[in-house]
Amino acid sequence: MPHHDLVIIGSGSGNSLLTPELEGLDVAIVEKGTFGGTCLNVGCIPTKMFVLPADRVVEAEDAARLGVTFGAPTVDWPAIRDRIFGRIDPISHGGEEYRQGQDHVTLYRTRARFTGPRTLVLDTGEEVTAERVVVAAGSRAVGLAVDGLTGADPDHGVHTSDTVMRMDALPARMVVVGGGFVACEMAHVFSALGVHVTQVQRSPRLLMAEEEAISQRYTEVAGGRYDVRLRTKVTDAEHVDGTWRLTTEGPVGEGHLEAETVLLAVGRRPNTDLLDVLAGGLETHPDGRLVVDAQQRTSVPNVWALGDISSEHQLKHVANHEARIVAHNLAVDLGRVPGPAREDDGRPVPHAVFGHPQVASFGPTADRLRSEGAEFVSYTQKVGDVAYGWALEDTTGLLTVHASPDGRILAAHALGPQASSIIQPLIQAASLGQQAHEVARGQYWIHPALAEVVENALLGLPLD
């Protein structure tokens, strides 16, 4: 029975745990899927690389407002796809080869499940034990419990985000089921590249978790680009002669949609069930996530967890932060570095949606602040009202900032050009506890750069 100093389950952010402070440990990495995890192979990185050419198409179409017109775009899907995975796949393969070449690392290319505390059985039947275990096995896309779609696969035109980016060819029509960030990004990509997209969302707006004004405005923009069906759900499906016929229930009753391809983007599930974590004594939340404390420790001694399998935030930058915490705390436990152990410090967690336009946010929405009884003030700055916004002829972008009455930044919600970058100064200010007007007046803001949206939003706050 192999016994290791450390077993890491998952090769995404868990792979980055092996810092110099842990050098020399007998380490095992367990990974059944593609080496490198979700972000590298099927998540953040490839999706954003697909978003870029899609953005170029939409920007070219929009340029007529600026007095410039272009001909219809020619989309070479294989070239787009192969450029992206021609870069990503070698990184995955290289990472795997690097770990396989390390004498102190054993790579188990199989699944594992717990049979007891810090005891695993591999799909090969081999049992493995460890002094310490880090569970970083991520999450997976879920399907849709609808007759006809359950069990359908890419060979029959039913995809999740894990498979849709590697299609051999673009379909003429696609139904995107879901209204969250994955659904919105993929609907943007495929509609821009010439696919007739219909997005089906059960709720009254897309991106329902965002600030209401941003969710509403994004929904309006998306609805102007492709077919958006709100308050609508898929109730039945059949596949005939290469075409999916979906039965829907919506505001006007029963309807039907036809498409060659269906993309299910209805959420992700932590992989705890695949690991049989209860057999390992690991406590879980009702949604299946592992319970961890501020030091990323689970309910079992010497077992840590990080990333999607334990975090409420399915975000790579959060998983990386948690990996740094775990790496340090492992080194402290081993006496490699002095204590104390590190803990999550509660810093603001930002996220972005790379649709068109972009959305970025951190902190609570106004509705949540009100429901919590918090005292706060707000200001919304339109992108089109600053100088660079004039140049862009922007009609949709905005930035809303929520702050305490004494000027502490509580949240920011942005929609518009480069929202994911524009919001960063506010993330930094909130993380460092800076006052809103201090940030606005304590530095120069390049004129007429788009960042003046942030300056003006801060100055507009009606503070005490």
Distance CA(93)–CA(109), nearest Å, equals: 13
Give the residue among 91, 88, 107, 90 at the shortest CA–CA distance from 99. 107
Give the residue among 428, 376, 432 at the shortest CA–CA distance from 404. 376
Q: How far is CA 7 from the centre of its chain?
A: 26
- 3-state SS of 246-261? EEEEECCEEEEEEECE
Q: How far is CA 323 from the centre of its chain?
A: 17
Extended strands (E) in 36-145: 105-108, 112-116, 119-122, 127-135, 139-141
For residue 129, the cross-strand partners are 3, 119
Task: Look up tokens 């070239």; give the residue.
Answer: 79
Distance CA(237)–CA(247), nearest Å, equals: 6
| Phi, psi dihedral angles at 31 (to 5 degrees) | -150, 115
Instruction: Give how far Cα 166 sits from Cα of 25, 85, 181, Å.
Output: 38, 9, 19
| Structural contact between residues 99 and 15, judged by C-beta atoms closer than 8 angstroms | yes
366: three-class secondary structure by DSSP = helix
Q: How far is CA 302 from the centre of its chain?
A: 29
For the chain, the C-alpha Rg in angstroms (whole number) is 24
The terminus-to-terminus CA distance of the chain in angstroms comes to: 66
- Token pair of 400 as six digits: 């809303």
Active site residue 447: yes
Catalytic member of 256, 313, 356, 447: 447
| Structural contact between residues 461 and 403, judged by C-beta atoms closer than 8 angstroms | yes
| Phi, psi dihedral angles at 409 (to 5 degrees) | -75, 125
| Phi, psi dihedral angles at 373 (to 5 degrees) | 75, 20
172: three-class secondary structure by DSSP = coil
- Token pair of 282 as six digits: 């690991």
Supply the residues annotated as catalytic. 447
